[in-house]
Structure 1
C-alpha cells in the first residue's frame, strides 16, 4: 500500500522519473538563490525576472519551434538584457532598482504573450507560460543538472561576498570586497535558474519553487546554513509530493508542485519558530499572564 502510494508511479513510468529528477535538480539550484533574494529584500525581482525571459523564449519558439536549446538561449539572452538595461536605468536616473525591473518586467511579459499569441496558438502559449514537467527529456535533464551544478559552485565562490552584501552592503563597498561583481554574478544565476525552471514549470510557475521555500525557511531559522538546509528540504519535498499529487489526483504537475510549496509556506507562517503566528500569539498570552 505505501509502496503504491509513494513510489509506484516513479517505478512504473519513465516520464515520472524524469520529472522527479528534473525537479530535484531544479530545487537544488533554486532554493539557495531564492533565500539570498529574500535576505537581500529582492523577492519581487525574482518574479520580474521570470517574466523577463519570456520575449526571448517566444522569439526562439517562433523561429525554431519547441526547441529546448533555442528557447533556453533566447530566454537567457532576454533575461541578461533586462538585467543590464534595468541596472543602467538605475544608475543613470532617479528610479530605484525595483521600479526599473518592474517596468521592464511588464513590457517583457506583454511582448512575449503578444508574440506567441500572434504567431502561435493557445496551446503554445500555455506550454510556455506553465511548462510541462512531465515532458522533460534527457536533454532537458542534462541542462537542469548543469544549471544546478553551476549554481552550487558559483555560490560557493561568491558565498562570503553575498552574505556580507545581504546584511551590510556599505561595509563591503568600503573594504573593496567586489560587491558589484558579486551582485552581477548573482543576477546571472537568477536568470539562469529561471531559464532552467522555465523548461519544467513555465515562466509563471518557475519563480514559485525559488521563492516559497525560501520564505518558509526564513520563519524556521535565523542562522544562514540552517535556512539554506530548510529551504532546500522544502523545495525537494514540494517537488516530490507535488508530483505524487498530480499523478494520484490527476492534477496539472506544475501547479501541484507550487501549491505544495505554498502549503508549506502557510504552515510555516502559522507554526514557524521565528515569526510564526502561533509563536507570537503564545508569547503575547505569556506576557499578559
Structure 2
C-alpha cells in the first residue's frame, strides 16, 4: 500500500509523467557524455559550459518570454561562443584553456544574471538558475527528447576516434583533421546536452545530473562502455527518486534530483568495488595480512 502511494504521482498527474520522460531522456544522454568528460579530466570544463548557457537563455527570455524553443537555441549559441572564445584565447596566448574557460564562464554567468534581474523578476531568475522540471510542457519535452537523440546519434558516429583521443591523443593526431573534428564535435555535444538539461534543471543544477552519476559509476566498473551504461542508469534512478521526493515532501525538483545523485555518489565512494574507501580498506588489510 505504501509503495503504491509513493509511485501514485506518475499514474495520476500528466506533469509528473512529462517530467519523468524528460528525466529519462536526460539520463540516457548524461551517462556517456558525463563518463567521457570524467575520463578526459574535463569535469570542471563541463561545469563552466553549463553556466555559459545563461546569457543566451536570458536573451531568449527577453525576446520571447518562457519559450523553451527560443531560449534553447539562444542558450546553445551562447555556450558554444564561450567555448570557442576560450579555445581561441588559449591558442593565441600562453593561458591554459581551463583558465580562459573559467574567465569567460564567470563573465557569461554575471551577464545572464544581470539581464534577467534588470528586465525580469526574481521568479524568472530562479527558474533559469534552478529550473523546474515539473513545469516542462509538450514543446519542452520534444526539445529535450530531440536534443538527447541528436547527441546520442552523433556520439555513436564519433565514438571510436573520441575514445582513441581520450586514451592516446598522440595516436589520434595521426588522423589529422578527423581526430580534431571528433573532439570539436564532442564539445558541441556537451553544449547541446547542457542546453537540454538547462530546460529542466536550470543552469546551476544541470551539471549535477551530468557529472555525479558518471563519477559514481567509476567506483564500480572499469570498462568505459559499462561505465556509460551504469552512469545512465544511476542518473535515471536519481531523477525518479528526486521527482518523488519533490512531490511528496514539497522540495524543489532540481535540487532534489541532484541531492539524490549526490547520495548515490557518496554511497559509491564508500562501498564501490573499485578505488572506494571500502575497497582501499580491504586492500590495505590484505597487504597487512600478507
Tell me the TM-score range normalised by the shorter chain. Answer: over 0.9
**Alignment root-mean-square deviation, CA:** 1.1
The equivalent of 2:53 in structure 1 is 53
**CA deviation after TM superposition for structure 1 residue 255, in Å:** 0.6
Q: In 2, distance between residues paired with 1:86 and 1:169?
A: 20
**CA deviation after TM superposition for structure 1 residue 77, in Å:** 0.9
Taking the TM superposition and a 5 Å limit, the aligned residue runs for 1:149-164 are 149-164=149-164
**CA deviation after TM superposition for structure 1 residue 2, in Å:** 4.6
Matched, 1:192 2:192: yes
How big is each residue's C-alpha offset from its partner over 1:107-166, in whole Å with a ceiling of 9 and x where there is no partner?
011111111111111111000000110000111111111111111111110100111111
Report if aligned partners of 1:29, 1:147 keep a CA contact under 8 Å in 2.
Answer: no
Normalised TM-score (structure 1): 0.97
The equivalent of 1:20 in structure 2 is 20
Structure 2 residue runs without a partner (length 5+): none
Matched, 1:208 2:208: yes
**CA deviation after TM superposition for structure 1 residue 174, in Å:** 2.4
Q: In 2, distance between residues paired with 1:19 and 1:143?
A: 13
- Between the two proteins, the alignment pairs up a number of residues equal to 289
Moved over 3 A (4+): none
Matched, 1:279 2:267: no
The equivalent of 1:139 in structure 2 is 139
**CA deviation after TM superposition for structure 1 residue 7, in Å:** 2.3
The equivalent of 1:86 in structure 2 is 86
**CA deviation after TM superposition for structure 1 residue 29, in Å:** 1.3
Q: In 2, distance between residues paired with 1:117 and 1:175?
A: 47
**CA deviation after TM superposition for structure 1 residue 175, in Å:** 3.9
Q: In 2, distance between residues paired with 1:178 and 1:80?
A: 20
Report if aligned partners of 1:161, 1:177 keep a CA contact under 8 Å in 2.
Answer: no
Report if aligned partners of 2:52, 2:82 keep a CA contact under 8 Å in 1.
Answer: yes
Taking the TM superposition and a 5 Å limit, the aligned residue runs for 1:72-83 are 72-83=72-83
How big is each residue's C-alpha offset from its partner over 1:224-258, in whole Å with a ceiling of 9 and x where there is no partner?
11111110110110111111111111211111100
Report if aligned partners of 1:209, 1:261 keep a CA contact under 8 Å in 2.
Answer: yes
Q: In 2, distance between residues paired with 1:183 and 1:217?
A: 23
Give the 3 Å change call, closer, same or farther, for CA 136–178 of structure 1 in structure 2: same
**CA deviation after TM superposition for structure 1 residue 80, in Å:** 1.2
SS at match of 1:72: helix
Q: In 2, distance between residues paired with 1:114 and 1:286?
A: 57
The equivalent of 1:168 in structure 2 is 168
Report if aligned partners of 1:31, 1:209 keep a CA contact under 8 Å in 2.
Answer: no
The equivalent of 2:113 in structure 1 is 113
Structure 1 residue runs without a partner (length 5+): none
SS at match of 2:66: coil
Q: In 2, distance between residues paired with 1:257 and 1:70?
A: 25
Report if aligned partners of 2:31, 2:230 keep a CA contact under 8 Å in 1.
Answer: no
